[in-house]
Structure 1
Amino acid sequence: MTSEKSSTVGGRPVRLGVQIAPQHAYYEKIRDTAAELEEMGVDILFNWDHFYPLSGEPDGLHFESWTMLAALAEQTSRVELGALVNCNSYRNANLQADMARTIDHISAKGTGTGRFIFGTGSGWFERDYDEYGYEFGTVGQRLDALAANLPVIEERWTKLNPPPTRHIPVLIGGGGEKKTLRIVAKHADIWHSFSDAATLERKLGILAEHGDAVGRDTSQIEISTELSRRTVADADEVFELGTTLFTLGISGPDYDLSPVRDWLDWRDAKNAK
Structure 2
Amino acid sequence: MTDKPIRIAIQLAPQHADYAVIRDAVRRVEDLGADVVFNWDHFFPLSGDPDGLHYEAWTMLAAIAESTSRIEFGPLVNCNSYRNPDLQADMARTVDHISAKGGVGRFIFGTGSGWFERDYEEYGYDFGTVGSRLDALAEDLPRIRARWEMLNPAPTRRIPILIGGGGEKKTLRLVAEHADIWHSFSDPETLERKLAILDEHCAAVGRDRGEIEISTGVSVRGMGSLDPHVLERQYALGVRLFEASASGPDYDLAPLEQLLAWRASFGA
TM-score by length of 2: 0.96
Q: Deviations over 1:176-220 (max 9, x none)?
A: 000000000000000000111111111111001001111111111
1:11 deviation in Å? 2.6
Question: Aligned pairs, how many?
Answer: 263
Give the one of 244, 249, 255 matched to 2:245.
249
Matched, 1:173 2:164: yes
Give the one of 238, 256, 259 matched to 1:260.
256
SS, match of residue 59 in structure 1? coil
Matched, 1:95 2:87: yes
Matched, 1:147 2:138: yes
2:223 is aligned to none
SS, match of residue 184 in structure 1? helix
SS, match of residue 162 in structure 2? strand
Separation in structure 2 between the aligned mates of residue 147 and residue 267 of structure 1, nearest angstrom: 35
1:228 deviation in Å? 2.1
1:204 is aligned to 195
SS, match of residue 164 in structure 1? coil
Q: CA RMSD in A?
A: 1.0
SS, match of residue 16 in structure 1? strand
Q: After the TM superposition, which segments of 4 or more aligned residues of structure 1 sit over 4 Å from their partners? A: none
SS, match of residue 176 in structure 1? coil
Separation in structure 2 between the aligned mates of residue 196 and residue 93 of structure 1, nearest angstrom: 32
Q: Deviations over 1:119-172 (max 9, x none)?
A: 000000000000000000000000000000000000000000000000100000
Query: Which amino acid in 2 is paired with 1:30?
Result: I
Q: Where in structure 2 are the equivalents of 1:1-273 lying within 5 Å?
A: 10-109=2-101, 111-229=102-220, 231-270=227-266
Identity percentage of aligned residues:
65
Structure 2 unaligned spans of 5+: 221-225
Separation in structure 2 between the aligned mates of residue 134 and residue 231 of structure 1, nearest angstrom: 40
Separation in structure 2 between the aligned mates of residue 54 and residue 233 of structure 1, nearest angstrom: 29
Query: Which amino acid in 1 is paired with 2:161?
Result: V
Structure 1 unaligned spans of 5+: 1-8
TM-score by length of 1: 0.95
1:97 deviation in Å? 0.3
Separation in structure 2 between the aligned mates of residue 269 and residue 144 of structure 1, nearest angstrom: 43
SS, match of residue 153 in structure 2? coil
The 8 Å contact of residues 216 and 242 in structure 2, kept in 1 or not, is answered as yes
Separation in structure 1 between the aligned mates of residue 191 and residue 170 of structure 2, nearest angstrom: 16
Separation in structure 1 between the aligned mates of residue 71 and residue 89 of structure 2, nearest angstrom: 21
